[in-house]
Amino acid sequence: MRGQTRVFDMGSPDMWQAIKTQPLMFVGAAIVCVVAILAVLAPWIAPYDPTEINVKDILMPPSWQHWCGTDTLGRDVFSRMLYGAQISLSVGFVAVGLSMAIGVALGAWAGYAGGRVDMLIMRSTDMVLCFPTFFLILAVIAFLEPSIWNIMIVIGLTSWMGVTRLVRAEFLSLREREFILAAKSLGASPLRMIWKYLLPNAMGPIMVSAVLGVAGAVLVESGLSFLGLGVQPPDPSWGNILTEGKDNIQLAWWLSLYPGLAILITVLGYNLLGEGLRDVFDPKLKS
Amino acid sequence: MRRYALKRLIGMLPLLLGITMISFAMMHLAPGEPAVTGQEFNPKVSSQDIERLRAYYGLDKPLYEQYWHWLKRLAVLDFGESFSNDHRPVLDKVMERLPVTLWINILAMILILSVAIPIGVVSAVKQDSWLDRILTVVVFIAFAIPSFWLGLLLMMSLGVNLHWLPISGIHDYSWQQMGFWQQQWDFLKHLILPVFVSAIGGLAGMSRFMRTGMLEVIRADYITTARAMGVPEHSIRYRLALKNAILPVVTLLGLSIPGLIGGSVIVEYLFSLPGMGRLFYEAILARDYTVVMGITVMGAVLTLIGNLIADLAYAWADPRIRHGQS
């Protein structure tokens, strides 16, 4: 019974076949795992305290003692990057969790209810989409104080529009399917319809957009921190190490190179994973 | 065509109203009363500023009246006065900064189109070849690269080490002494890095999109028919398929405007350019709320206009849209 209510079955051999034909997705998944493990294990791996100031070792180039050099206060950049990974990833996950919750709820409501509700929700989505997201985030931060929590919330609150559209579109196309009509005619309540039959079948695209969303949120967080409006020093973040890199561009190339590389690799990992999942869930795009 | 344009214009009005509503709501985001609460002890905001804000927004009146009052001022492009020491109208401050931002974004768009379309087409036509794979990897990396980091690296290599390109500002120190053409060349030189950095993300996204679009069109029935009728492969690709694959790109270009405008904050900060994005950034640091709100509204309206232009261009190119199935 359960298998029949799903258009897409998680355990089918087709899926493993598809994964095998997606080597880039594996690369992405590997990157995602490694970065996550490094972030979690940061307190044990990091060779130095990320906030420990050491006036004797200011702006030291990379060496065996300091793999990625030291910054203007003599702090070890490698250790700061490990802790920065913790911060970036938690911002990414919480922000995406929030935007998914809002997006799925609104999209499901619009797609299921249809009619005037649908129109109202979709027009509001269009309105929010008119704002350059980065402006919106910055404007809100201007009114609040920049802190990790505010950044998570603000990024979450300004990135739900894509998911809303996507879930609504999925629901609209599912609505006319036989098994949905059957469940409906058997008297399933709206919430049960959405939760049991509609959402599970829209799970693929939702997962894809969540994975890609993490990449986007990490980029936005690093951009905000780079501008000095995100994670505040002395807390380390890939973005705020880069700010120091900009200020010392003539003196310390390592401050600019390594944190950016970390952002690039992380974002690339999530993007590859997300795009790979998209092809797995929607094979007709690939062929 | 004219009817379609008129219809789209009227359809814009509710969106415009919605934009103002969201912006207005944002002013009231700060906990408790509108933006001024909690600013009494903020040394950056003087009591005169608070008075001015009260006067501009009519904060002692009920909400709907405040909104209406604000809307009336927006309608005549009155965005209030800046909180900074010069107390100039927000509109004037933005207008003198806008050209730089527009220049960069328009040039970035031209760059995106002129590079992304060929990349997408080549990738699609030679699908799964080595060239396609390499291009795909490059595009993925370009899509994930933080633009400000790329900017930093380019500044470091081309600017600081090689001295090929200037790394900040819009003019050289000796601008005044230059001849006309020298000035133009100097201006262009200052724009090369910012334009490239602004364009990189959109470039990657657009080539990916173009590749998918082209692949879809190539598989369409009418292309198969053309092939069966013996139309040479060359004209099938570049005359029949390309024309139809390019159409959706116009829409995507419209959709990418907010990203470009938003990105100008970072690019202008990085390269110290006197544009709207930098003004916005400075206003945020100084808690210059009238400027922040003014630019937010203007950014949204610019986006709306960009989308309208994209829609009209699409309709102009595709009669099906213009005559509307619905």
What DSSP string runs through B273-310? --SHHHHHHHHHHTT-HHHHHHHHHHHHHHHHHHHHHH
Task: Using CB atoms, pick whichever of A128, A132, A144 lies closest to residue B299.
Answer: A132
- Cβ atoms of B273 and B169 closer than 8 Å: yes
- Lowest-pLDDT range of A111-125, B49-63, B264-278, B294-308: B49-63
> According to the model, what pLDDT value does residue A13 have?
61
Encode B170-229 in three state secondary structure. CCCCCHHHCCHHHHHHHHHHHHHHHHHHHHHHHHHHHHHHHHHHHHHHHCCHHHHHHHHC
* A residues 104-133 closer than 8 Å to B (CB): 123-124, 126-133
> According to the model, what pLDDT value does residue A20 have?
72
Cβ-in-10-Å burial (0-12, 13-18, 19+) of A188 comes to: middle
> According to the model, what pLDDT value does residue B61 have?
73
Task: Using CB atoms, pick whichever of B21, B258, B281 lies closest to residue A227.
Answer: B281
- Dihedral sign of CA atoms A109, A114, A117, A121 in order: positive
* A residues 12-31 closer than 8 Å to B (CB): 24
Q: What are the pLDDT digits (tens) for B104-145?
A: 998 998 999 899 989 998 888 888 889 988 998 888 899 889
Task: Give DSSP secondary structure letters for A1-61.
Answer: -TGGG-SS-TT-HHHHHHHHT-HHHHHHHHHHHHHHHHHHTHHHH-SS-TT---GGGTTPP
> According to the model, what pLDDT value does residue B21 have?
86
Task: Give DSSP secondary structure letters for B122-134.
Answer: HHHHTTTSHHHHH
> According to the model, what pLDDT value does residue A247 have?
86
Which pTM value belongs to this model? 0.85
Q: Do A138 and B284 touch (CB under 8 A)?
A: yes
At A19, the pLDDT band (50, 70, 90 cuts) reads low
Match 């969106």 to its residue by tokens: B15
The pLDDT of residue A5 is above 50: no
Closest-CA distance, A181 to chain B, in angstroms, reads 27
Q: Do A142 and B265 touch (CB under 8 A)?
A: no
Task: Using CB atoms, pick whichever of B15, B266, B296 lies closest to residue A223.
Answer: B266
Closest-CA distance, A272 to chain B, in angstroms, reads 8
Mean pLDDT of chain B: 82
Closest-CA distance, B112 to chain A, in angstroms, reads 19
Residue of chain A whose alpha carbon sits nearest to that of B133: A24
Q: Do A132 and B149 touch (CB under 8 A)?
A: no
The pLDDT of residue A234 is above 60: yes
Q: Do B259 and A245 touch (CB under 8 A)?
A: no
Q: Tell how far CA A44 is from the center of its chain.
A: 25
In three-state secondary structure terms, B89 is strand
Size of interface A-B (CB pairs under 8 A): 138
Residue of chain B whose alpha carbon sits nearest to that of A137: B262
Q: From CA A57, how far away is CA B246, in angstroms rounded?
A: 56
Q: Does A135 touch chain B (CB under 8 A)?
A: yes
Residue scoring higher pLDDT (B37 or B138)? B138
> According to the model, what pLDDT value does residue A286 have?
45
Task: For residue A246, list chain B residues with Cβ-Cβ distance below 8 A.
Answer: 152, 270
Closest-CA distance, A250 to chain B, in angstroms, reads 7
Q: Does A156 touch chain B (CB under 8 A)?
A: no
Helices B257-270 and B289-317: crossing angle, nearest 10°? 130
Q: What are the pLDDT digits (tens) for B198-230?
A: 998 888 888 988 888 888 888 888 888 888 888
Residue scoring higher pLDDT (B55 or B23)? B23
Task: For residue B145, list chain A residues with Cβ-Cβ distance below 8 A.
Answer: 264, 267
Task: For residue A222, list chain B residues with Cβ-Cβ distance below 8 A.
Answer: 146
- Lowest-pLDDT range of A4-18, A146-160, A269-283: A4-18
Q: Do B141 and A135 touch (CB under 8 A)?
A: no
> According to the model, what pLDDT value does residue A83 have?
92
Task: Using CB atoms, pick whichever of A126, A272, A275 lies closest to residue B15.
Answer: A126
> According to the model, what pLDDT value does residue B47 have?
66
Closest-CA distance, A142 to chain B, in angstroms, reads 5
Task: For residue B18, list chain A residues with Cβ-Cβ distance below 8 A.
Answer: 123-124, 126-127, 130
At B59, the pLDDT band (50, 70, 90 cuts) reads low
Distances (CA, A) of B314 to A106, B204, B241, B246, B309: 29, 22, 16, 10, 9
Task: For residue A220, list chain B residues with Cβ-Cβ distance below 8 A.
Answer: none
* Complex ipTM > 0.90: no
> According to the model, what pLDDT value does residue B31 have?
46
Of the residues A88, A130, A250, the best mutation for testing chain B's interface (the one with the most B CB atoms within 10 Å of its CB) is A130
Q: What are the pLDDT digits (tens) for A50-104?
A: 887 877 878 788 888 877 888 888 888 898 999 999 999 999 999 999 999 999 9
Q: CA dihedral in degrees (A174, A178, A181, A183; nearest 10)?
A: -100
Q: Do B144 and A271 touch (CB under 8 A)?
A: yes
Closest-CA distance, A132 to chain B, in angstroms, reads 4
Q: What is the rounded average pLDDT of the residues B247-276? A: 84
The pLDDT of residue A208 is above 80: yes
